[in-house]
Structure 1
Amino acid sequence: MKVHVLEDAQKLGEQAAEHAANIINELLAKQDKVRLVLSTGASQFETLSELVKKNIEWSRIEMFHLDEYIGLPESHPASFRKYLKERFVQLIPLGKVHFVNGEGNITEHLEELTREITKEPVDLALIGIGENGHIAFNDPPADFETKQSYMVVDLDDICKKQQVGEGWFPTVEDVPKQAITMTVHQIMKSRTILSCVPNKVKAKAIREFFENDIDHRFPSTIMKSHPNLTLYLDKQSASQTDPKWLL
């Protein structure tokens, strides 16, 4: 694992996007396409904003989406499909996009997503860490055992409060109770993971990431077992962590 602590969220986004672009372009020099997984949420604003500016042959990129609320229409401000379309997909000529859709026949959709993502390995995944330590919507205690690629999960209260705190919903009661998420198993199959985690509200989660062994009560800790993980923090998100872990 490599750890970078940047001055602020903007500097974090710039460096993480540069790293991601370099990985993508190196892969495109030796293979036909790159399969990319993207996170959403307020913590990813700067990284995605910088990534779309990069000189990449986007038509050779196949993008997968991590998660989506059950029953939430795309028109809702909190929809992750809406988020990704407005901040990424509509700004570049992507080759292929696979959205998670929480409406319609969920069983059939899970089967479709699984078929697509398991056709070939994922080359690069940009994975955030939630205030409760979740990755995607794998809230604690996260399922580290399932071999599914996507599944329906119940959202815990801390996760719901994060969504309200970021301004996506007016109250906790307005947050959907369930979501479709990419599983821990599928995330960990990615060849490279860049985890971008800025902002003060993530400081506790980052401290717990470093202080705990791999534990489903702290879902993000599973990423410490990944052979090619780079963690991007800013001074605020790293503020509660013992500096010895950040060297």
Structure 2
Amino acid sequence: MNIHIYKNKKELDQAVADILIEHVRQNPTITLGLATGSTPIGVYDLLIKDHQMNQTDYSRVTTVNLDEYVKIGKNHPESYFSFMKKNLFDHINIQMDQVHLPDGETDDLDQACEAYNLVLSQHIPDIQILGIGGNGHIGFNEPGTPFDMKTHIVKLAEKTRKDNARFFESLDDVPKEAITMGIQNIMDARKIILMASGANKAEAVKQMLSGPITEQLPASVLQNHPNVEVYIDKEAAKLII
């Protein structure tokens, strides 16, 4: 893994945005694996500003998202579909039929997992953006998830629900389940960019980079991937520098 350390989140976001913009310009039909949550918002904002100023073209770009909540509805304001529209898709010229997220609304969740695996087999990410949870999760693959798991339904760990509660009115409103790319799907990406900022991610970053490769820290599997770039700020890097 190549590690890039920045003074603050603003510089980190700019570095990742610059990479994505350059790749989109060089490969207009690129497939981007996207993430939600607070980690990538600054990057998406920079992509929007660049599109507005420089007309970077997303009309032939395909996207696949890591995950979606179960049973809150895609048009719920806190669904990841709504998140992506609000924070990126509504502001660039991407074609919505080229946007893919797992279906958390259906009553047949097993079939939804199979359907998303098919999508991912047809649209392997050229670049997959990842955050990392304080417990080392990637996507919603919580500690204990088998490394060979593909798209699946996961019961969200209490820590993860508490981390996400700031986006809801109360912890009770945070969904208890999500549908997520599995670790195997993530590892299929041709290139992975993992982002982390803040002291609360420092221990997970340290274990991801230098700890044992263990299902108890899902991100540690990235040590086995041939093309991972880690972008972190000084706070997230404080235990490794």
TM-score exceeds 0.5:
yes
Whether the 8 Å CA contact 1:81–1:100 is kept in 2: the answer is no
Question: 1:192-246 CA deviation, whole Å, 9 max, x = no partner?
Answer: 111111223222221222331211111111112111111110112112x221xxx
C-alpha deviations, 1:33-83, integer Å up to 9, x for none? 111110010111111111233353201100111111111133444311111
1:20 corresponds to which letter in structure 2? L
Q: Which residue does the alignment assign to 1:121?
A: 124
Aligned residues: 234
Indicate which of 38, 46, 51 corresponds to 1:50: 46
Aligned pair partner of 1:144 in 144, 147, 155:
147
Q: 1:109 aligns with which of 104, 109, 112?
A: 112
Corresponding residue of 1:226: 225
Report the CA distance shift for 1:24/1:213 in structure 2 as closer, same or farther (over 3 A). farther
- Provide the residue aligned with 1:242 in structure 2: 240
Task: Give the secondary structure class of the aligned counterpart of 2:40.
Answer: helix
Deviation at 1:120, TM superposition (A): 4.2
Give the direction of change, closer, same or farther, for the CA distance of 1:236–1:111 in structure 2 (3 Å limit).
same
- Tell me what 1:169 maps to: 168
Work out the CA distance in 2 between the residues paired with 1:93 and 1:182: 25
Question: Are the aligned partners of 2:24 and 2:58 in contact in 1 as well (CA < 8 Å)?
Answer: no
Judge conservation of contact 2:208–2:222 (CA < 8 Å) in 1. no
Unmatched 5+ residue regions in structure 1?
none
What's 1:199 paired with?
A: 198
Matches within 5 A, 1:15-54: 15-28=15-28, 33-54=29-50
* AA aligned opposite 1:14: Q
Deviations 1:90-127 (A, max 9, x none): 11111311122311232333232222221243211111
Indicate conservation of the 8 Å contact 1:214/1:224, yes or no: yes
What per-residue deviation string (whole Å, max 9, x for no partner) do you get for residues 119-139 of structure 1? 243211111111111000000
Normalising by structure 2, we get a TM-score of: 0.90
Identity %: 29
Runs of 4+ in 1 over 6 A off after TM superposition: none
Distance 1:27 1:19 in 2: 12
After TM superposition, the structure 1 stretch with the greater mean CA deviation from structure 2, 226-235 or 73-82, is 73-82
| Coordinate RMSD, CA, aligned | 1.7
Aligned equivalents of 1:17 and 1:11: distance in 2? 10
Moved more, 205-214 or 40-49: 205-214
Structure 1 residues 178-189: aligned runs within 5 Å: 178-189=177-188
Q: Give the Cα separation in 2 of the matches to 1:36 and 1:63.
A: 5
Aligned partners of 1:23, 1:232: CA distance in 2, in Å?
17
CA contact (8 A) 1:43 1:199 kept: no
Cα distance between partner residues in 1 of 2:123 and 2:88: 23
With normalisation by structure 1, the TM-score equals: 0.88
